[in-house]
Amino acid sequence: MLKKLSTTILLTLLLIGTNLAQRPLNKFIDNHKNQDKAVCMTLPGWLLRSGFNFAENFAEEQDEKAFLDLGQYFKKLRFLVIDEKAHVSDYAIQTLLNDLPDHGMEKFVSFREEGNNVNVWVREKDDIVKNLSILIRGEDNLIVVNLNTDMPLDALKEANFSFNSKRKESTNHH
């Protein structure tokens, strides 16, 4: 009885902990999804995996197949697109960016050019990417993407991505 109770408490705390780690971005999406000109979607893992598996049947290049194969690790995707970014205050965006590190997210890469800002954040644990978040601020729109995954870095390694602009010859493993 005691064992069951302690297991339940532990699981509950774990769930709460996971939720807390993702709160800023999900909270941001929840706060703005009902605004004018806002489109918000939440795609469960099974749907993502089905879509990627289906698309893999039509992929011709090995690189494409390797990329689509990564879909098996996706758990949930949420995105929010708002046209007319003026509906979202700079303060709200800055608060989000300030809160992310407190919830286990690490800044991955950011760039800004000609009025477009892109910020990519990642949460990784034991060489497994748990969360990837992208915030894109254009002149007239805002896009927020939050992807939960269980993607091991080894999977990316096997996908054999090339960061070289002179792309290596595609390998054919059929």
Partner 1 sequence: MKQFLILFLSFVLTSTAFSQGAIEKYFSEYEDDEKFSVVYVSPKMFKMVAKVLSEQENQDLKDVVENLDGLRILKVDDAEGKFYKEAKGKINTKEYELLMTARDEGQKIEFLTKESGDIIQELLLMVGGDEFVLMSFMGDIDLEKIARLAKSLNIDGVEHLGKLDKKE
Q: Rule CB under 8 A: say whether 164 interacts with partner 1.
A: yes
Give the C-alpha separation, 136 to 60, whole Å: 30
What single DSSP character describes residue 170?
P
Binding mask 53-92 for partner 1 (x = CB under 8 A): ----------------------------------------
Report, in Å, the least distance between residue 43 CB and partner 1: 24
Give the C-alpha separation, 88 to 135, whole Å: 13
Report, in Å, the least distance between residue 162 CB and partner 1: 7
CA atoms lying within 13 Å on the CB side of residue 168: 9
Q: Rule CB under 8 A: say whether 160 interacts with partner 1.
A: yes
Beta-carbon count within 10 A of 134 CB: 18
* Angle made by CA atoms 111, 142, 105, in degrees to the nearest 5: 60
Q: Rule CB under 8 A: say whether 156 interacts with partner 1.
A: yes
Q: Which H or E run includes 140?
A: none
Q: Rule CB under 8 A: say whether 165 interacts with partner 1.
A: yes
Q: Rule CB under 8 A: say whether 106 interacts with partner 1.
A: yes
Q: Which residues bind partner 1 (CB under 8 A)?
A: 106-115, 122, 124, 127, 153, 156-157, 160-166, 168
